Structures are given as C-alpha cells and as structure tokens.
Homo-oligomer: A and B are copies of this chain.
C-alpha cells in the first residue's frame, strides 16, 4: 500500500456538520446569516491541537480562518458570517500546536518545582522556527523572545517570557503548516436573499381579474388588483402560466375531455400558433403590459412569480420545430401525457431521454433566462419531479451563477425522497405536506422533522392551505374557522406560505364531487368572477395575520420552532424567537373547527426567554387583547365563532413598583 503524501500530519478531522451527502450538495442560508460549523478534530497522543474553520466567498481565492472552540469530547465549533449573495465554501483544518503543548507542560513543571532550563531552550527553538514563517516584524519579535528564553542569567525573566500571552498569540499565528491537516472536502453554502426564507405568496389567475363580469382579465386588471394584494399583506404575486394555450384536445370546464366553444382551456397546456414558453397569451396583454405590471407591483413591494411548466400542448411551436425533444409512439405519433389508463392528450411531455438532451436543456434554461431578462426573479416550478433531477441541478446553477437573486419554488407534491432531492439540488423553497397535516400529532411530527432534522439545512418549506389543485377536506367542511386556523398555521409554522386566492379569502369550498380535492368550477379550466367585497371574505383577518408576520421577526425564520404541551388534544401551541431573543411569538390554534376548546398550556419558559417567576404579558397580534400570565401553566380558550387562534407576542417586561423612581 502507498504511504500517504505526508505521514507526519497527525490530526484527523471527521463528522463535519453541516454536511449534506458528503458535500455533494450545498447547505442554504440567507444574506446576514451565520453558519455554525462543528467537527471532530483530534490527534494521537497528548499534544494540544488547534482547529480552524476556513471559509471564503467562491470568487475570492483566499481562505479566512476562524479559531474553533473545543466543546469537549473532541468536538470543536466556530461560525462565520455570510454577507454576499452567491456561494461560499468552508472546510476545517487541524494542527498540532507544539507551542501550546510546551507552554501547558511548562506550567505543570513550574508548579511541581522542576528544573526547566532545558525546557526553556526547547521553547526558544520553537519560537525561532516560528520566526522563520513570520512577517518581518513578528519574526523580530519572536527572535527577541527566543533570546530571552535562552537567557540563563535571568531565569525569572525567561519564565515570564515563556508564559507571556503575547508570545502565545504570536505563536498561534505561525503554526507549522507541516503539521496541519485539512478536511478532505470543501463544503458549499448557497446564500440567497431574505425572500428565499421569508415570503408571503398570493396566487391568482390573471384571466379572472377582469372588472367586467365574464370578461377575460388582463395584466392591466391584475395591476388594478395590486393594491388589494398589498392590503392583504402579500409580497409575492404568483401567476399561473401566462402563455398561449393550446387548442388541440383543449379541456372543457370542470376538466371535461372536450372543450365547448369559448372555453378558456388550461393555462398549463402551454403553446399555440401564437407562441410557446416565451410568448404571452394575447388576451392577457403584451410584453410591455407585463413589464408595466412588474413595475407597478415592485412599487408596492410585491414581486411577481412566474410559473415554469416544462410541457407543451400539441400546438406548441417546439412540436414542429424540435420533434426530437418528444417521445414518439410506434405509429409515429408523439406520446401524450398519461397515467394509464388516464390520458392527457392536451399535454406532450418533454423527453429527457432524448439523444438531443443537451439542446433541450439549453432551450429550457433559455426560457427562464428570457423572463429573467424581463425582470422576473421568482419562479414557481410546476411538477419538477417529472423532469430529470440532473437537469434541474444544472439549470438552477446556470441561472444562479449570473443571477444569484433568482429563486425557485419546487411544486413537487410527491414522495419524500424525491421532494428532498429537489430541495438539495438547488430549489430555494419547496411545497410541503402541510396541506394534508391536520391533527396535533401530524403537525408536531412534521414540523419537528422539518426544523430539527438535517432537512433544516436545505429544505425551506412554503406552506399552502389550498392551491388550484387542492381543496383539502377540512376547508370543504370546516367553514370560516377552518380557513382562519389553516391560514394562521401556514403563516406562523413557516416563514414562507401562500394562498390561492380569491378562492381562499372568499371561503370557496365546493369540491368537484364528494371525496375529490378538485374545486368545482376550477379556475384551471374556466374564468371566474370573484366578488372580493363579499361579506364572508376573511381579507381583514389575512391582513392582520400578515401584519403580525411583518411586525414580529420571530416569524421570519424557523430555526427554533418549539411545541409546547397542552392538555387538550385540539389545542396546538408553539413558539418561535428571533435569533437575538428580543422578539418571541407564541401561537395557539384550536384544531377543532366546530367547538370551543379550552385547556392549560404548559410552556417551556426557557424557550420563551422567560424565568420561572417572571410575570409576562401576552399580546394577541390579531385582536390586540392582552393577558397577564405567570409561570408555565396558563389557560387558553378558543371558540371557532370568535377566533380559532391566538398569535401572542410575549412582552417580557411587566411594570412593577420597581419601575417607580422613588423605589430606587
């Protein structure tokens, strides 16, 4: 067996965390975060070691070193800040620290009253060797100290020099690289802007935005809707595909196989003679209209998110221009989408096994670049799990290399390993199973997994109580309380969430048929008139919830979500704190949408930054009501009629007699 390049490197570095799949994928952070890194670092024998965390922005070749602190049991920790959009790298190094070993041994020898004459000479040698690696000034300083250590005339002075912290600090700067080991992998951090983590999405169909009943909405109509969306408090407006819709095999209302004349068709059946993925449906407006909408939205601090659905209607220009990008049946026809025995003949999937895959990949990337060049930075990707994983990994990296502010939301309602892979390979946010997690146990388990397991490093959840595809059963039967409760859960359990409106705020709850999660008169297949001013609208509550999110930085992240126990199985209580601990929010939700539920919450006071004897106020961010609480056990009662949820801000300071001047 070959010997290693340098067998004298005795330090080993193991179990670096965070590390995903042996460094195959990046962890995710946002600008301004810190990355805390731990590693096992140790050597044979009893020599002291120095462990350092090394990090750099990908475009800067030099590493910055941060000394790691020992946690015991050979575990070390340090952290570094990420201040720029893009990619950072980090790794760990470990050195034998001969000087620190020597210094520590010397102290023991002195304490035992031993003769240290030779030891001082040993130390002088170490200092002289370090001088050979030092800058000129430091080298002078080290040589001067080495001389003092050699001065057998004045042992007391030599001893003082030996233990001088300045010498220790100098020596720590010039560890001998001959004895430094480097961890075998360099690990990556993908640094996004804050919206990657903290965002509130509003999905709407532009074609249903017309002020004229029965009219086809336009981008101008959407522009007119912006103030409404802003009032609701959303900062991402997500539009289903805005492209021309195919005519061949167009679906009719309620997903009937054949459209009637005048039926609008599904926006996901992309492409007609009017163009494909870079064209705009003529009835929505022009590219100029689109840019105007983008601009108007930006003025209201709303970003537009476009839908990326990589599939084609039979009328898409690519079908004739690039037949090699589609699978062919044995009779020469192009293979339509199907899930046998169901057929979706209005959709042709792209063939990721095509021998012409490199050109296909380029074309798909260019679709995204097209919209990026027109100012879009957020993309909600439709069914990414039906396209090749390696395509997404390449495509997202391609885009983010030049546009590190681009964000991609993965709409993969599929098996866990597939969802997780998509998150790891680069998607900024992910749809989740929240949509189907309803009970206290389900919600606690799922959000514990999302926030406490390694998923926390790479999967950023975006929680949707409804989507155009999914009207969950609780919303079908639970009435207004269900809508409010699911809204509060989504908005507070995740820093990112979204609703599909106006169906949501107007309480749309009729399924296509019993047992189905499809909407009756789904907007996927027809234009709807929405009466935004309807009295049943919960718009005001949505505004209040989004205001609570805005006002409480605890709700902008998920790093320390904590569930608190409650003696009533219908009451779910959880809290979050901002990183500096100054903002703490406790949410309590009644999961029973039909009955008033009450009970005692057992708070983990330390996680709320409270001492056991503290008296504290809880201030409901939705109603403005205040309660004075003390200690861990406190009573809560929530009625579906009034409000099924509290979003309490914890006010730790309650005035007491000690606040009066004369008390001092």
- Using a CB–CB distance below 8 Å, which chain A residues touch chain B? 1, 3-4, 7-10, 12, 14, 21-22, 24, 40, 42-46, 73-74, 96, 105-106, 108-109, 111-112, 114, 118, 121-122, 124-125, 179, 184, 329-331, 333, 338-341, 352-355, 357-358, 361, 385-391, 394, 397-398, 401, 415-418, 421
**Quick one: given A44-B387, A394-B3, A398-B1, are A330 and B10 in contact (CB under 8 Å)?**
no
Most buried by B among A9, A353, A386: A353
Query: Among the listed B10, B114, B394, which residue makes an inter-chain contact with A388, where contact means beta carbons less than 8 Å apart?
Result: B10
A159 to chain B, nearest CB (A): 15
Minimum Cβ distance to chain B for residue A176 (Å) = 9
Q: Can you give 5 contacting A-B residue pairs, CB < 8 Å?
A: A7-B358, A7-B361, A10-B353, A42-B418, A106-B340
A385 with B45: CB separation less than 8 A:
yes
Decide: A74 near B418, CB < 8 A? Known: A4-B394, A7-B361: yes
Smallest CB separation, A172 vs chain B (Å): 19
Contacts of A112 in B (CB 8 A): 340-341
Distance in angstroms between the alpha carbons of A387 and B43 in the assembled complex: 9
Residue pair A122, B390 in contact (C-beta under 8 Å): no
- State whether A390 and B352 are in contact (beta carbons under 8 Å apart), knowing that A74-B417, A421-B14 are contacts in the complex: no
- B14 lies within 8 A of A44 (CB): no
For A109, list chain B residues within 8 Å (CB): 340-341
A14-B417, A122-B329, A418-B74 given; A389·B3 CB < 8 A:
no
Given contacts A14-B417, A74-B415, A397-B1, contact A44 B7 (CB under 8 A): no
Taking a contact as CB atoms under 8 Å apart, the answer to whether B73 and A416 are in contact is yes
Q: Is the CB of A352 within 8 A of B415?
A: no
What is the bound-complex CA distance between A96 and B351, given in angstroms? 14
How far is it, in angstroms, between the C-alpha of A353 and the C-alpha of B129 when the chains are bound? 15
A418-B105 in contact given A121-B330, A353-B8, A389-B12 (Cβ < 8 Å) = no
CB–CB A417/B40 < 8 A: yes
Q: Are A385 and B44 in contact (CB under 8 A)?
A: yes
Check A357/B389 contact, CB under 8 A, given A73-B415, A108-B340, A118-B329. no
Residues in B neighbouring A394, C-beta threshold 8 A: 1, 3-4, 7
Residue of B at shortest CB range from A110? B341
CA distance A24 to B10 in the complex (A): 17
